[in-house]
């Protein structure tokens, strides 16, 4: 075991680049250490220098406001009115389409049947009270 400690001690004194070269040389001839060799290749790609830090400069180009918006980014009255009218039109259209579908007609027919049944029941109650 003293030999292993000597190797570890010697390896600890190596720079990262030198240590990676030693591991690469040892793992190259051993198929069972393929994962270690791949890790060495990834480890050698890690930069040893400190990354350069740069100040982030905001975009200096002037933004052109979208149509129907003020330079501050606030929608104009016309834009708001158009959006409201668009949403209103969409809701009216979807309601019309719902009534024109077979399920919409079925609901309308059920409503009319209940309305007739309610009116008939009310007439029956009035007759039984002698109001007609």
Residue 20, pLDDT > 90, answer no
Task: Compute the half-sphere exposure of residue 35: CA atoms within 13 Å on the CB side of its CA.
Answer: 1
Q: Is 75 helix (H, G, I), strand (E, B) or coil?
A: strand
Average pLDDT score over the chain: 81
Residue 62, pLDDT > 70, answer no
User: Is the separation of the CB atoms in 14 and 22 below 8 Å?
Assistant: yes
User: Is the separation of the CB atoms in 71 and 65 below 8 Å?
Assistant: yes
Residue 18 — very low, low, confident or very high, per pLDDT cuts 50/70/90?
confident
Residue 65, pLDDT > 70, answer no
Tell me the mean pLDDT in the region 2-17: 81
User: Is the separation of the CB atoms in 19 and 11 below 8 Å?
Assistant: yes
| Between residues 41 and 109, the one the model is more confident about | 109
| Between residues 87 and 7, the one the model is more confident about | 87
């Amino acid at each position: 075991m003293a030999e292993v400690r000597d190797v570890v001690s010697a390896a600890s004194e190596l720079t990262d680049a030198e240590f990676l070269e030693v591991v690469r040389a040892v793992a190259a001839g051993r198929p069972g250490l393929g994962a270690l060799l791949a890790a060495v290749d990834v480890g050698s790609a890690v930069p040893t220098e400190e990354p350069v830090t740069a100040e982030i400069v905001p975009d200096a180009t002037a933004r052109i406001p979208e149509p129907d918006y003020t330079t501050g980014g606030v929608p104009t009255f016309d834009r708001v009115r158009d959006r409201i009218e668009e949403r209103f039109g969409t809701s009216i259209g979807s309601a019309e389409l719902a009534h024109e579908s077979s399920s919409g007609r079925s609901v309308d027919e059920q409503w009319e049947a209940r309305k007739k049944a309610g009116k008939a029941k009310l007439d029956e109650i009035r007759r039984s009270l002698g109001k007609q």
